[in-house]
């Protein structure tokens, strides 16, 4: 990991290189409150470098203890691979596959030899090249919430999702540069039939956003359909697709210590074609994992290493991400808890593990709140603190996540966008050039004056600071006269303004037509089985 | 600065050394919701070590550029010391004092020679020795909000403060171990006459809390009265007081580049007696300081170094703290903004400067919100992020601060206490002992099971995780049936429960009587002049 003295020049290049990058997304927006929101006019947040050095939450010795214990788990207890094809491949590679069972045990050298072929940083390609994303190193990229069964907004309340909700949330993701990709279906559109839902949803995603996207691993036919749709969307050949990772899939372990058949099919289809596999155990300490954070991390690491090893067995060098999702439960109710101190520790330790293996690190912006109150903000901000200081590279559920993932909230989406932009601004290098040190202005003003009217101030005041989307900085009297609006009120207004000003990205009509044809053909064939 | 490998053992000792430290403040509290809050039964949060390494936000080169520029400001532009006694002392020490003006210019070697005699870590003594506080090094200590003209709670709204409000807020500070000291008057009790207010308030503080406290530097008589009250409260001699710093004062520069007479009197009286001076410029970028964060830091550092140098001129080795309070303004309105990305950067850079000089670092938990909404939480959490990763040692306004310091909120106090406790839990070392790695539990459960019933879980579940005071982790249905309470609702309930169960700390009746006598005598003398 390079030091701040190396990274700051790179980060300055990153945020200030092109002239348009100097324009501020938030600049002046606060002043437009209630007059309709301007469309984003900036590339400022299209790529973000983490200028802070990762924080260490466990000692080197502690890290090695977790690493060693997880290899012992894979060696002695083993892990279930619930697909014979996967077990056969593993057995051929030298793993110990118990006859008549799904259990696979790995010699620790076998695991590490496979993990070692995983690449470091790589690029995830979008159909718009300007939206392609770097994974790993100092990069941080944010994906919208995925897979919520419910959605909610203040006007219409909490409800199961429909295609309209799905589309609106995708449109919101397209509207902010700080959201670098969608992460799946932000809400499950339950009015679409399960056998063809993926066709409708992925075609919608290609049309409504030009950012990279995700394919669910819920049966290999869905993976294959998604691979074809991303190829059509980019207008490239299968060969080019294979040389340019353009689609990612989240592979969750069925913790503890199992990978089910759809997930293993997902690895087999995606890794074989050099697409991105994000291996993510979901290890809730006290439920599906030991009640101690360290114990949960041992299990997380065992599951992650086994999944990563399998991707590399399928195709050495296939792009893969180390995912961590260790949190705790509320031991009084068993309910999952998120954005907790224990979550922060687990996120940071997960980063130390991922960096130990030289693999990009996936984590999440979580909260367990039921409404857009202070809890929703502090749990998410603690998640962001943990993942930024923990060196997270790829952040799932970065905007919109409520109720531990059960609900995609339109207002929470805007709150998260604002918080993510503030994090990005925080990570912008602090300019200490002679001009920024302001010695002339200090000489000019001297003791007892003020800086409102100096040339130094006047030439900078419009762009000097981040203008938040939601923060209400009026004094108490003005704020009271305006009806004492809360963050919830402002977020409700902003998502509606954003949707009203949404413009779809351009799409080649030939691609649009090819997409139509493909979806129609596959629907004609009946879609995919739904009995997985 | 020691590494994590050195600090973790110390932190484990810190939080787990005494048996009672292993008990959790929050443990089980959530389950008592609505049944009345238990009194705190723990020493867990009495002293907190920052186990994370400080983050660098500016390069070494950038840090030196700020340092050099600030010395150039003191050399060329100079700073106004608005008290002839101070100027005479400075002139005698070799500073360039312009005849017929208040301007003082410092040779850079003179500044640094004086700053160099400042001590590193030191102890601030409380009347209860268990409440004494370590300043500097890896320690973090939190002081309650100070100096708000208004207070507010949901039941009674926003109002000017009274003695009753003042007393209630002091009682809240006493009720939570995570609040290590009071920081002044949490709200100004405007029903007490200004000439004797300090006597009533300080006597109240000695009686209502056994934690360290602050004396305002608003005229030297007030400093002298406070010194006598803290001496009486501790039941010690003037000589012992002088060998054991027991009182602190905040010295604000009148930015830009001025120290007024009451502040300079404060330094003279307090430093001469070896009491703690916290030098804190208040440098709002774009108002009283340059519009760039780096420029504001140059000015902050010039003012801080001048103030620190003066403390050391008064008494070499007197305990002193480097205070940073650089934030930005809303350039559309000129209103101060807090908890912003720019604030985070300034806080972290301030920490780098303080560590460069080897002086304990003071910063603040800030927000500009008008109510207990998401904004109040994200701005405060961003402040906490900045100050923890920035290596803050002494945190003013840690609980209760709203509206940029204009209001002390009873609900925000509870929200902050919960957030501070979560920060403290985050900073508790992650246990990677063999027992915590849970290998036996993982072997026992194996693939596909769960951990709810294992011996490893059952022996730990009551204390495994932090139980927040406010977070509502019920599922949406249960939460809805309970009336959809927000964090604001929970905080409103908790502060009332806390006040209802408040118990004053013990105080020797002889001390109580001596305190009474002193206050009566000084009131009889008419208190202090109020024309400062």
Of residues B277, B29, B34, B323, the one with CA closest to residue B176: B29
The region of weakest confidence among B39-48, B342-351, B447-456 is B39-48
What integer pLDDT is reported at residue B18 of this predicted model? 34
Distance from CA of B512 to the nearest CA of A (A): 40
CB contact under 8 A, B103 and A447: yes
**Token pair 């790589």: residue:** A122
Compare all CA atoms of chain A with the CA of B414 and give the residue at the minimum distance: A374
Mutation site for B-interface testing, chosen from A69, A151, A292, A324 by largest number of B Cβ within 10 Å: A292
Compare all CA atoms of chain B with the CA of A422 and give the residue at the minimum distance: B341
**Whether residue B346 has pLDDT greater than 50:** yes
Of residues A260, A78, A95, A109, the one with CA closest to residue B442: A78
CB contact under 8 A, B375 and A470: yes
3 state SS of B133 = strand
Compare all CA atoms of chain A with the CA of B77 and give the residue at the minimum distance: A443
CB contact under 8 A, B378 and A349: no
CB contact under 8 A, B438 and A298: yes
The H-assigned helical ranges of B186-285 are: 197-208, 220-234, 238-243, 261-272
Of the pLDDT bands very low, low, confident and very high (cuts 50, 70, 90), residue B389 is very high
CB contact under 8 A, B291 and A72: no
3 state SS of B287 = coil
Distance from CA of A220 to the nearest CA of B (A): 23
Mutation site for A-interface testing, chosen from B307, B442, B461 by largest number of A Cβ within 10 Å: B442
CB contact under 8 A, B447 and A258: yes
Is residue B182 within 8 Å of B218, Cβ to Cβ?
no
CB contact under 8 A, A80 and B447: yes
Distance from CA of B376 to the nearest CA of A (A): 7
Distance from CA of A200 to the nearest CA of B (A): 30
**Whether residue B59 has pLDDT greater than 90:** yes
What integer pLDDT is reported at residue B331 of this predicted model? 77
Q: What is the pLDDT of residues B411-432, one digit of tens each?
A: 999 999 999 999 999 999 999 9
CA distances from A455 to A438, A460, B133, B299, B500 (A): 11, 9, 45, 17, 56
The 3-class secondary structure across A142-193, one letter per residue, is EEECCCECEEEECCCEEEECCHHHHHHHHHHHHHCCCCCECCCCCECCCCCC
Q: What is the pLDDT of residues B9-23, one digit of tens each?
A: 555 454 433 333 333
DSSP conformational letter for B472: -
What integer pLDDT is reported at residue B30 of this predicted model? 35
Of the pLDDT bands very low, low, confident and very high (cuts 50, 70, 90), residue B530 is confident
**Token pair 């030098």: residue:** B279
Bridge partners of A399, per DSSP, are A144
SS3 content of chain B, % helix, strand, coil (to 5): 45, 15, 40
**pLDDT profile of chain A (532 residues), mean per 10:** 53 41 34 38 80 91 98 98 98 97 98 97 97 97 98 98 98 98 98 96 98 97 97 98 98 98 98 98 96 98 98 98 96 90 98 98 98 98 98 98 98 98 96 97 96 93 93 97 98 98 98 98 91 53
Q: Which residues of chain A have a CB within 8 Å of the CB of B53?
A: 53, 55-56
More confident residue, B31 or B274: B274
Of the pLDDT bands very low, low, confident and very high (cuts 50, 70, 90), residue B5 is low
The 3-class secondary structure across A63-131, one letter per residue, is HHHHHHHHHHHHHHHCEEECCHHHHHHHHHCCCEECCCCCEEECCHHHHHHHHCCCCCCEEECCCCHHH
CB contact under 8 A, B374 and A415: yes
Distance from CA of A89 to the nearest CA of B (A): 20
DSSP conformation letters of B148-163: BSEEEETTTEEEE--H
Predicted model pTM: 0.94
The region of weakest confidence among A83-92, A322-331, B30-39, B311-320 is B30-39
Task: Give me B140's structure tokens.
Answer: 């973090």
Q: Rounded to whole angstroms, how far apart are CA atoms A218 and A251?
A: 10
Q: Which residues of chain A have a CB within 8 Å of the CB of B299?
A: 442
**How many CB contacts within 8 angstroms connect chain A with chain B?**
423
Distance from CA of A3 to the nearest CA of B (A): 9
Distance from CA of B196 to the nearest CA of A (A): 30
| ipTM reported for the complex, 2 dp | 0.94
Of residues B46, B215, B57, the one with CA closest to residue B139: B46
Mutation site for A-interface testing, chosen from B258, B373, B417 by largest number of A Cβ within 10 Å: B373
Of residues B308, B111, B103, the one with CA closest to residue A446: B103
Q: Rounded to whole angstroms, how far apart are CA atoms B354 and B394?
A: 12
Distance from CA of A134 to the nearest CA of B (A): 23
CB contact under 8 A, A378 and B381: yes
CB contact under 8 A, A403 and B72: no
Q: What is the pLDDT of residues B234-287, one digit of tens each?
A: 999 999 999 999 999 999 999 999 999 999 999 999 999 999 999 999 999 999
Q: Which residues of chain B have a CB within 8 Å of the CB of A407?
A: 476
CB contact under 8 A, B374 and A488: yes
Mutation site for B-interface testing, chosen from A26, A290, A491 by largest number of B Cβ within 10 Å: A290
CB contact under 8 A, A335 and B475: yes
Compare all CA atoms of chain A with the CA of B302 and give the residue at the minimum distance: A442
CB contact under 8 A, A30 and B5: no
Say which of B341, B377, B464 has its CB closest to residue A331.
Answer: B464
Compare all CA atoms of chain B with the CA of A9 and give the residue at the minimum distance: B59
DSSP conformational letter for B75: I
Of residues B267, B192, B261, B281, the one with CA closest to residue B223: B267
Mutation site for B-interface testing, chosen from A378, A383, A456 by largest number of B Cβ within 10 Å: A378
> What long-range pairs does B81-84 form, CB within 8 A, spacing at least 24?
B81/B259, B81/B264, B81/B310, B82/B254, B82/B258, B82/B259, B82/B260, B82/B261, B82/B264, B83/B259, B83/B260, B83/B261, B83/B264, B83/B265
Distance from CA of B235 to the nearest CA of A (A): 40
CB contact under 8 A, B293 and A430: yes
Say which of A56, A66, A465 has its CB closest to residue B432.
Answer: A66
Q: What is the pLDDT of residues B125-151, one digit of tens each?
A: 999 999 999 999 999 999 999 999 999
Compare all CA atoms of chain A with the CA of B471 and give the residue at the minimum distance: A375
């Amino acid at each position: 990991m390079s030091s701040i003295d190396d990274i700051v020049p790179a980060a300055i290049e990153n945020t200030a290189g092109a002239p348009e990058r100097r324009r501020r997304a938030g600049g002046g927006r606060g002043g437009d409150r209630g007059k309709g929101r301007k469309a984003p006019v900036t590339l400022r947040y299209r790529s973000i470098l983490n200028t802070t050095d990762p924080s260490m939450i466990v000692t080197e010795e502690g890290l090695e203890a977790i690493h060693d214990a997880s290899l012992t788990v894979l060696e002695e207890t083993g892990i279930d691979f619930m697909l014979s094809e996967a077990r056969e491949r593993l057995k051929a590679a030298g793993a110990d596959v118990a006859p008549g069972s799904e259990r696979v045990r790995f010699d620790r050298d076998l695991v590490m030899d496979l993990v070692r072929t995983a690449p470091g940083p790589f690029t995830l390609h979008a159909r718009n090249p300007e939206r392609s994303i770097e994974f790993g190193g100092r990069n941080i990229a944010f994906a919208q919430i995925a897979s919520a069964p419910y959605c909610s907004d203040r006007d219409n309340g909490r409800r199961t999702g429909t295609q309209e909700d799905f589309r609106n949330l995708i449109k919101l993701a397209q509207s902010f540069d700080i959201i670098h990709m969608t992460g799946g279906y932000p809400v499950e559109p339950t009015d679409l039939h399960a056998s063809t839902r993926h066709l409708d949803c992925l075609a919608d995603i290609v049309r409504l956003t030009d950012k990279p996207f995700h394919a669910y691993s819920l049966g290999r036919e869905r993976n294959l359909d998604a691979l074809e749709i991303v190829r059509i969307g980019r207008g490239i050949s299968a060969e080019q697709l294979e040389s340019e990772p353009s689609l990612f899939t989240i592979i969750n372990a069925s913790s503890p210590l199992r990978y089910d058949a759809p997930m293993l099919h997902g690895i087999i289809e995606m890794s074989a074609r050099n697409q991105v596999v994000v291996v993510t155990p979901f290890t809730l300490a006290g439920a599906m994992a030991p009640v101690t954070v360290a114990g949960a991390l041992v299990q997380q690491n065992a599951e992650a290493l086994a999944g990563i090893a399998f991707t590399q067995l399928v195709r050495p060098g296939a792009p893969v991400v180390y995912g961590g999702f260790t949190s705790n439960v509320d031991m009084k109710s068993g309910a999952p808890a998120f954005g907790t101190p224990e979550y922060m520790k687990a996120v940071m330790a997960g980063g130390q593990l991922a960096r130990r293996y030289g693999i990009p690190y996936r984590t999440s912006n979580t909260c367990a709140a039921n409404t857009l109150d202070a809890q929703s903000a502090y749990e998410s901000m603690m998640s962001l603190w943990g993942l930024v200081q923990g060196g997270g590279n790829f952040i799932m559920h970065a905007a919109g996540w409520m109720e531990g993932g059960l609900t995609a909230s339109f207002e929470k989406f805007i709150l998260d966008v604002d918080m993510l932009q503030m994090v990005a601004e925080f990570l912008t290098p602090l300019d200490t050039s002679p001009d920024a040190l302001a010695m002339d202005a200090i000489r000019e003003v001297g003791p007892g004056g003020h800086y409102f009217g100096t040339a130094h101030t006047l030439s900078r005041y419009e762009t000097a600071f981040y203008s938040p989307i939601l923060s209400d900085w009026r004094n108490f009297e003005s704020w009271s006269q305006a009806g004492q609006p809360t963050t919830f009120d402002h977020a409700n207004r902003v998502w509606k303004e954003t949707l009203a000003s949404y413009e779809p990205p351009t799409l080649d009509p030939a691609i649009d037509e090819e997409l139509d044809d493909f979806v129609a053909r596959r629907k004609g064939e009946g879609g995919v089985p739904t009995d997985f």
